[in-house]
Amino acid sequence: MRRVAVIGVGQSKFGELWDASFRDIVLSAGIEAIEDAGLEGREIEALYVGNMSGGRFLSQEHIAALIADYAGLAELHIPCTRVEGADASGGLALRQAYLAVASGLHDIVIAAGAEKVTDIVDKAMEILASGVDREWEVFNGATLASLFAMMARLHMDMYGTRAEDLAMVSVKNHRNAVKNPKAQFRREISIDVALNSPYVAEPLRMFDCAPISDGAAAVILASEEVARKYTDTPVFISASSQATDYIALSSRKDFTRMDAVVFAAREAYRKAGIGARDIDVAEVHDSFTIAEIMAYEDLGFAEKGKGAELIREGVTEIDGDLPVNTSGGLKACGHAAGATGIRQAVEITLQLRGDAGERQVDAERGLALNIGGTGATAVVTIFSR
Amino acid sequence: MRRVAVIGVGQSKFGELWDASFRDIVLSAGIEAIEDAGLEGREIEALYVGNMSGGRFLSQEHIAALIADYAGLAELHIPCTRVEGADASGGLALRQAYLAVASGLHDIVIAAGAEKVTDIVDKAMEILASGVDREWEVFNGATLASLFAMMARLHMDMYGTRAEDLAMVSVKNHRNAVKNPKAQFRREISIDVALNSPYVAEPLRMFDCAPISDGAAAVILASEEVARKYTDTPVFISASSQATDYIALSSRKDFTRMDAVVFAAREAYRKAGIGARDIDVAEVHDSFTIAEIMAYEDLGFAEKGKGAELIREGVTEIDGDLPVNTSGGLKACGHAAGATGIRQAVEITLQLRGDAGERQVDAERGLALNIGGTGATAVVTIFSR
């Protein structure tokens, strides 16, 4: 396996993009990435696309071919493949693209992620619930929010995590999003606003839940040798790991922990030859605030049960020792299901290149954690300057 | 890239499986493959699943995690990934699994394909049309059948292909299916029956169209070194190629030809170091009979415009020089969208191992062609003893 670098990144605005079609937002992200890399579209050798549910949101499967067609790649006849793992689809696309370059199969590959949800927003919650177990969970009345609410409740009971801790995650991520021109919610919220917002599924309130967003993101990966020709600031992927867990929460031993995250992180650290303490900046999957607290623990940033201490002590604030979700995260930058894993990679790349503008932090190594559903799929990617 | 072998194959029955759930049929194929390989489930290092539209047929995305959970693989926490390219999804899963082993990333990988369509059969045609361009084709009234009907009409006008030629493809594939215990339609039809069946989209009649089927298939791939430990009859994958074309038929230069097939086949022959004439047996994507005729041409078995001669002259009959669709093909074995690419690999493996029972042919090299929609995605795999 050879070294792989990110040589270009792009992202659409995230939010309720009523004026843009799926094709429009994918193209805007892809063109931005190609221009950022300074290459021509015809140099791309393969495309991987992460998309959760084009079938239900757009009545369109075969998403990779659709994008290739619209992006002018169809005449190249290059392999174009959609991968799906609920809202980990973007992370899976990134990993498949990474493997395609690392293995020597291709020199330049584009990984994109996209989801357009607002056109059918009245069914969006039900569609997003197709990422958990339909027969054993959804059919019996569970929603994504209610499953995460059970995780939050148990975490609170076992470890003393408080509603205030969850709210602080949301407040932090909103504060970061103010500095991100691509973010959906660019305004600060106070902890009181978060704590007085209505319950979605007790103990999770509105501000504990990421929004349903439209958005797309793209990264261009190249082998080290090729990367050196295109950029003086390549960002390397030191490790890419993927793990799976039981899809139904009821089958897991302990649902205050996501085993897929624990396994993927352990393997990623081993491959990169580093430990959790070596990470300088991270984007984690805060589809619900409790998921960010659990990520702190499952990624090894904190001991199990002590994740809330990081937010209480300001460690994960943008000026803390380990800034997390400088983009605003899923909560405030926006959660466009299949786009999220790629959007996280864009943010880490910008941070490591020094191109993160007002939200720039000092970092040599970054990590992205993208999960699907309640954690049945986890992808951990480690980046380095 | 190292050599990769198929060491185990399995498939469910194909057809209207009212008594079986999606989980049931996937499991039956997977267990048959694992038993055929003579290994234990815990030796599997990764899972790739081809599935076209779990989201619409089952209200279930995140299909790979679902299968891992139900198959007892979740506790292994191995990477499990769904890939999708309409009804080429199975072929894409096979190729990703092949690349994972060929690159040295994994030693033993399972590739599965599955679709359960009958539970929502009243919407099946509309759902399958999500494999072509929703905005530019389906929205304007096109169906899969009507798009292939246009291809057939042009092929007839340009090259003199006749309705009788198309019917002969159907008759052949039904005849082969009689000998396949897993096939959906195990009865012969006469050419008169085919030619007098009602039009679906002129000039395509009912017997020109593959059915909508439930089904699943699985293959286990291993590195050559590992394969030698498990079997005395490994079937090697000599080449695996994938290409993309415009998704909308109207964007293509000539729709009597599928450029993605031409490109993928050319690359596959080059990689395998052989030519079309070296293929002894093939499974091709006869979603409509015209697609089998076009496949003869685009794969190089016949010159462009002369595909019909192969069926007229009996070349592709089971006792001909180049038997095609010995399984019964999509037409008579059944077309369970995401399963098809894997089911084709199962058939070619059985043929090359000498395990094809009553439908056994004499073959050292086989080819499988799996396409998505009207050919925007094509996967060509070459197998050898």
- In this prediction, residue A120 carries a pLDDT of 86
Residue B165, Cβ density class (10 Å: 0-12 exposed, 13-18 middle, ≥19 buried): buried
Between B52, B56, B96, which is nearest A96 by CB?
B96
Closest residue in A to B240 (Cα–Cα): A79
| B26 touches B231 (CB < 8 A) | no
Q: CA B84, CA B61: separation in Å to the nearest integer?
A: 11
The predicted-structure confidence for B321-365, as pLDDT tens digits, reads as follows 999 999 999 999 999 999 999 999 999 999 999 999 999 999 999
Q: Give CATH 3.40.47.10 domain extents, chain B.
A: 4-122+213-235, 125-210+238-384
Residue B39, amino acid? L
The predicted-structure confidence for A147-183, as pLDDT tens digits, reads as follows 999 999 999 999 999 999 999 999 999 999 999 999 9
Between A74, A86, A246, which is nearest B61 by CB?
A86
Among candidate residues B226, B232, B225, B238, the one with its CA nearest the CA of residue B98: B238
CATH number of A132-209+238-384: 3.40.47.10
Task: Answer yes or no: do B243 and A60 touch at CB < 8 A.
Answer: no
Task: Answer yes or no: do B244 and A64 touch at CB < 8 A.
Answer: yes
Give the mean model confidence (pLDDT) for residues B297-306.
98
The CB-based long-range contact list for A275-278 (8 Å cut-off, 24+ gap) reads A275/A300, A276/A300, A276/A301, A278/A365
CA distance, residue B284 to nearest chain A CA (Å): 19
Closest residue in B to A245 (Cα–Cα): B74
CATH number of B4-122+213-235: 3.40.47.10
Residues of A within 8 A of B263 (CB-CB) are 77
- Which residue's entry shows tokens 């246009």? B150
Stretch among A122-136, A193-207, A254-268, B190-204 having the lowest mean pLDDT: A122-136
Task: Answer yes or no: do B63 and A80 touch at CB < 8 A.
Answer: no
CA distance, residue B291 to nearest chain A CA (Å): 19
Give the mean model confidence (pLDDT) for residues A94-101.
98
The predicted-structure confidence for A303-333, as pLDDT tens digits, reads as follows 999 999 999 999 999 999 999 999 999 999 9
Closest residue in A to B244 (Cα–Cα): A77
Q: How confident is the model at residue B54 (pLDDT cuts 50, 70, 90)?
A: very high
Q: CA B165, CA A272: separation in Å to the nearest integer?
A: 59
| A245 touches A379 (CB < 8 A) | no
Q: Give first-to-last CA distance, chain B, whole Å.
A: 19
CA gyration radius for chain B?
Answer: 19
- Sequence-ordered strand ranges (E) for chain A: 4-11, 46-50, 80-84, 108-115, 199-201, 204-205, 215-223, 235-244, 281-283, 365-372, 377-384
Phi-psi region of B207 (alpha: psi -120 to 50; beta: other; left: phi over 0): alpha
Residue A275, Cβ density class (10 Å: 0-12 exposed, 13-18 middle, ≥19 buried): exposed
CA–CA–CA angle B365, B369, B372 (5° rounding)? 165
Burial A107-146 (b: 16+ CB within 10 A, else e): bbbbbbbbbbbbeeeeebeebbbbbbbbbbbbeeebbbbe
Give the mutation candidate from A4, A47, A61, A126 for the B interface (greatest B CB count, under 10 A): A61
CA–CA–CA angle B12, B296, B236 (5° rounding)? 55
CA distance, residue A128 to nearest chain B CA (Å): 9
The predicted-structure confidence for A289-308, as pLDDT tens digits, reads as follows 999 999 999 999 999 999 99
CATH superfamily of B125-210+238-384: Thiolase/Chalcone synthase (3.40.47.10)
Query: Residues, chain B, total?
Result: 385
- In this prediction, residue B15 carries a pLDDT of 97
- In this prediction, residue B164 carries a pLDDT of 98
CA distance, residue A149 to nearest chain B CA (Å): 21
Q: Give CATH 3.40.47.10 domain extents, chain A.
A: 4-122+213-235, 132-209+238-384
Q: CA A220, CA A212: separation in Å to the nearest integer?
A: 26
Among candidate residues A80, A109, A220, the one with its CA nearest the CA of residue B84: A80
Q: CA B279, CA A68: separation in Å to the nearest integer?
A: 31
pLDDT at A121 over 90: no
pLDDT at B121 over 90: no
Residue A374, Cβ density class (10 Å: 0-12 exposed, 13-18 middle, ≥19 buried): buried
Task: Answer yes or no: do B86 and A373 touch at CB < 8 A.
Answer: no
**How does the average pLDDT of chain A come out, rounded?**
97
Backbone angles phi, psi at A110, to 5 degrees: -105, 135
Q: How confident is the model at residue B128 (pLDDT cuts 50, 70, 90)?
A: very high
**How does the average pLDDT of chain B come out, rounded?**
97
Give the mutation candidate from B49, B84, B137 for the A interface (greatest A CB count, under 10 A): B84
CA distance, residue A344 to nearest chain B CA (Å): 20
Task: Answer yes or no: do A244 and B56 touch at CB < 8 A.
Answer: no
Task: Give the CA distances from residue B48 to residues A274, B40, B80, in Å, rounded to whole numbers and listed in that order.
Answer: 29, 17, 6
- In this prediction, residue B115 carries a pLDDT of 97
Q: How confident is the model at residue B119 (pLDDT cuts 50, 70, 90)?
A: confident
In this prediction the ipTM stands at 0.96
- In this prediction, residue A273 carries a pLDDT of 98
| B244 touches B217 (CB < 8 A) | no
Between A69, A74, A134, which is nearest B59 by CB?
A134
DSSP letters, B220-271, are: EEEEHHHHHHH-SS-EEEEEEEEEE--SSGGGSS-TTS-HHHHHHHHHHHHH
Q: CA B375, CA B151: separation in Å to the nearest integer?
A: 11
CA distance, residue B190 to nearest chain A CA (Å): 36
Among candidate residues A266, A257, A254, the one with its CA nearest the CA of residue A380: A266
Residues of B within 8 A of A104 (CB-CB) are 1, 103
Q: CA B343, CA A237: separation in Å to the nearest integer?
A: 36
Question: pTM of the entire structure?
Answer: 0.97
